[in-house]
Chain A
Amino acid sequence: MSWSKVEIAQRAAKEIEPGSIVNLGIGLPTLVADHLPADSGVWLQSENGILGMGPFPYEGDEDPQIINAGKQTVTIVPGGACFDSATSFAMIRGGHVDLSILGTMQVAANGDIANWSIPGGRTMGIGGAMDLAAGSKRILVLTSHQTKKGKAKLVHRCNFPLTARGVVSRIITELGVFDPKGEGFSIVELAEGVSEEEAREKTGAPIV
């Protein structure tokens, strides 16, 4: 048994320090918002200009001018603030965001991350990914352990175009929690029922 997407998000929520400022990337990382303890005092940052992003609005309360960076309708919590994009990226690049949780296409044992373009594939764009990766104090990656075609996403070195070099500190997948250690990945924790052998087999770099 490996972790579900919800279990990955729940495990990721445990990585968040109370009172910290956190940016959640598009996709799997967005789910983490649902698993923050009510009293955690965490401020969610959205790079299009919100500090203090709240949950999705109640049906009928959607405001087209209150969206997250994935262009989904959201809310703003009491104490939240809105600002322009230059201020938002000053917050990000200037090291005022404690943690960014990002999805990825590849993540390497040396901490490199490649999450914006697949060679020969459709280019989605860079968006805020490179600034978040370069500027946040800590980078946590949430991803499926392999691609849909069964290729390893945790690799020795990325061969997709990089987003940033050497920035990833931890990775959570359906198989468990892994840290990049240079030439390989260390196992921090395995999901219940997942063997070290399975993790080794599905990882594109040595388990060290």
Chain B
Amino acid sequence: MTKVYQSVEDAISEIRDGARIMVGGFGLCGNAEALIAAVAESGVKDLTLISNNAGNLGKGLAAWLRADIVRKIFCTYVGNNEDLHKKMADGSVDVTILPQGTFVERMRAAGAGIPAFFTPTGVGTVVADGKEIREFDGREYVMERALHADFALIRARKVDPAGNIRFYRTARNFSPIMAMAAKMAIVETDELVGLGEIDPDDVHLPGAFIQRVVHVPEHEDTIEYRTVRTRSEVQS
């Protein structure tokens, strides 16, 4: 049975009101742009969003905030995301800010069948409030629980019909981990290739973690902060 769906609408057809959804991307880098847009247009609401930044510059997941379909967010960084600052200020979205390493390790644990783990990150800070602290070999650690989701929406460079994935550069970020942590992982791929076209040793994420694939060749790929050097600068 192929995992390939012909449209993004078909690929997200199982998403219902109140779903918990992980969305890959570091800011706007590596976003599943078509899947994000399709969810915003589908009419689903009361979503829990698990994503590092929840959009920026009015783009990406900012569309979900503007459409008012998100009730709860787990993220690590707000920065200049004005849409998120607005939702936090008016109290319409419940936002939990986590340390980035804890955020991703909680998802990794969920995907790996580990209910909880101890990390040194956040000991002595508000992040540890109300959580179990335990000492190992003379150092304190805080217990963190696995973070699960119903869906993961991710972006890849190359996918085959079995769901084997290759990512590209820093567009990889949280995506493979989110795919592992979700009951249904849906991948939007730049390129759809045949079985065997990705060498087994070159697979970044095996197909076992992917349930649906949709081919989306065109992406906007917005640059948030364009920084360059001029050639003369280097010569001097």
- What are the residues of chain A within 8 A of B204 when measuring CB–CB? 84
Q: How far is the CB of A104 from chain B (nearest CB, A)?
A: 14
Question: Is A79's CB within 8 Å of the partner chain B?
Answer: no
The answer to whether B170 and A126 touch across the interface, beta carbons within 8 angstroms, is no
A125-B173 contact given A67-B26, A71-B29, A92-B101, CB 8 Å threshold: no
The answer to whether B124 and A164 touch across the interface, beta carbons within 8 angstroms, is yes
**A5-60 interface with B by 8 A CB criterion:** 46-50, 55-60
The answer to whether B229 and A57 touch across the interface, beta carbons within 8 angstroms, is yes
The complex places the Cα of A131 from the Cα of B230 at a distance, in Å, of 34
The answer to whether A135 and B120 touch across the interface, beta carbons within 8 angstroms, is yes
| Chain B interface category by residue count | 35 or more
- What are the residues of chain B within 8 A of A69 when measuring CB–CB? 26
Q: How far is the CB of A55 from chain B (nearest CB, A)?
A: 6
**CB within 8 A of B170: which of A58, A67, A93?**
A67
- What are the residues of chain A within 8 A of B131 when measuring CB–CB? none
A161-B126 contact given A67-B26, A89-B101, A126-B76, CB 8 Å threshold: yes
The answer to whether B174 and A84 touch across the interface, beta carbons within 8 angstroms, is yes
The answer to whether B120 and A125 touch across the interface, beta carbons within 8 angstroms, is no
The answer to whether A65 and B221 touch across the interface, beta carbons within 8 angstroms, is yes
The complex places the Cα of A129 from the Cα of B103 at a distance, in Å, of 13
The answer to whether A74 and B104 touch across the interface, beta carbons within 8 angstroms, is no
The answer to whether A73 and B78 touch across the interface, beta carbons within 8 angstroms, is no
Total A residues in contact with B, Cβ cutoff 8 Å: 51
The complex places the Cα of A125 from the Cα of B127 at a distance, in Å, of 12
The answer to whether A72 and B121 touch across the interface, beta carbons within 8 angstroms, is no
**CB within 8 A of B27: which of A56, A71, A131?**
A71
- Against B, the Cβ 8 Å flags (1 = close, 0 = not) of A184-204 are 000000000000000000000
Please report the number of residue pairs spanning A and B whose Cβ atoms sit closer than 8 angstroms. 170
The answer to whether B225 and A131 touch across the interface, beta carbons within 8 angstroms, is no
The answer to whether B97 and A126 touch across the interface, beta carbons within 8 angstroms, is yes
**CB within 8 A of B225: which of A46, A48, A70, A162?**
A70
The answer to whether A93 and B119 touch across the interface, beta carbons within 8 angstroms, is yes
- What are the residues of chain A within 8 A of B78 when measuring CB–CB? 123-125
- What are the residues of chain A within 8 A of B29 when measuring CB–CB? 48, 64-65, 67, 71
- What are the residues of chain B within 8 A of A47 when measuring CB–CB? 100-101
**CB within 8 A of B127: which of A59, A89, A130?**
A130
Q: How far is the CB of A30 from chain B (nearest CB, A)?
A: 9
Closest to A130 in B: B99
- What are the residues of chain B within 8 A of A60 when measuring CB–CB? 228
The 4 closest A-B pairs by CB, nearest first: A89-B101, A131-B101, A125-B77, A165-B124
Sampled A-B contacts (30; CB under 8 Å): A49-B173, A57-B229, A58-B228, A58-B234, A61-B228, A63-B169, A65-B169, A66-B169, A72-B226, A84-B173, A84-B174, A84-B175, A84-B204, A86-B104, A86-B177, A92-B101, A93-B101, A112-B124, A126-B77, A126-B99, A126-B100, A128-B76, A128-B101, A130-B99, A130-B102, A130-B127, A131-B99, A131-B101, A162-B125, A162-B126
Given contacts A59-B230, A62-B223, 6 further A-B contacts (CB under 8 A): A57-B229, A65-B168, A65-B171, A126-B127, A135-B120, A162-B125
